[in-house]
Structure 1
Amino acid sequence: MKTKTIKIIYWISTALVSLMMTFSAYSYLSNETIKQAFHHFGFPDYFRIELAVAKILGAVLLLVPIKGQWKEWAYAGFAFTFISAFIAHTASGDPINNRVGPVVFLMVLLLSYFTHHKTKVKSV
């Protein structure tokens, strides 16, 4: 695959994940239905706020050009978040359509992650 195509795929997938995480964080902080969903899962209210802050930080880390392992931590954190969301929806007996979203975004995250590493290798 051409370097330009890989970069386009990287930026689209990364923007999608970052946008979704930012919107999710906003919903966690402002939407009463989301607050009730956290109670439905049995999570404490402070966890909803912690997760919102972590999602905002992770979204920023994915988008900014930084050195070191910070991006790796953001990717790992989002992977854990999507897997945990799938498990929480499954364990609480939620319908299949609530379980599909986290899996789809995990796939988009993986696309971003692998194309990120391909752009790093190609540009060196």
Structure 2
Amino acid sequence: MTKRNKIIYWVATLWLALGMTATGIVQLMQSKDETDRMSHLGYPIYLLTLLGIWKLLGVITVLIPRFPLLKEWAYAGFFFAMSGALFSHFAANDSAKDFFGPALLIVLTVTSWYFRPTERKLINV
């Protein structure tokens, strides 16, 4: 792995971890703004707890060494959650600013996944 690719991986991964940790904690706190947002999108409030826990577990999985199969599941979960958020905001006719967070997290997820080191991949090619 080149030094450039290693830098890209760690920058994307750390920003992804920060974003997922922050949103996971906010979802677990279930503030009025967050519960209102979920209601606006048409989802039950209990989904916040589930998403928050999954995001925090996903961050731990992506950051720790080994467990490549679990990492694939974490990256897939991040992608599904954020693409679902994008689609939900689209379906609710939300403004463009509501698309920024999920779109950025999708880009960081794909970048981190693509540039991950060989030892963090399921199949070492």
Larger relative helix fraction:
1
CA offset at residue 25 of structure 1? 0.9
**What is aligned with 2:67?**
67
Q: Among the aligned pairs, what percent are the same residue?
A: 32
**What is aligned with 2:83?**
83
1:116 aligned onto 2:92: no
8 Å CA contact 1:13–1:108 kept in 2: the answer is yes
TM-score normalised per structure 2: 0.88
CA displacement 1:48-81 (0-9 Å, x = unmatched): 1000000000011110002340000000000001
CA offset at residue 100 of structure 1? 2.6
Moved over 4 A (4+): 117-121
Taking the aligned partners of 1:105 and 1:23, their CA distance within structure 2 comes to 12
Q: How many residues align?
A: 122
CA offset at residue 93 of structure 1? 1.1
**What is aligned with 2:24?**
25
Letter in 2 for 1:8: I
CA offset at residue 4 of structure 1? 1.4
Q: Helix, strand or coil for the counterpart of 1:116?
A: coil
CA offset at residue 105 of structure 1? 1.7
Letter in 2 for 1:16: W
Taking the aligned partners of 2:43 and 2:23, their CA distance within structure 1 comes to 16
**What is aligned with 2:44?**
44
**What is aligned with 1:93?**
93
Gaps spanning 5+ residues in structure 2: where? none
CA offset at residue 5 of structure 1? 1.4
Aligned CA RMSD, in angstroms, stands at 2.0
TM-score normalised per structure 1: 0.89
8 Å CA contact 1:27–1:34 kept in 2: the answer is yes
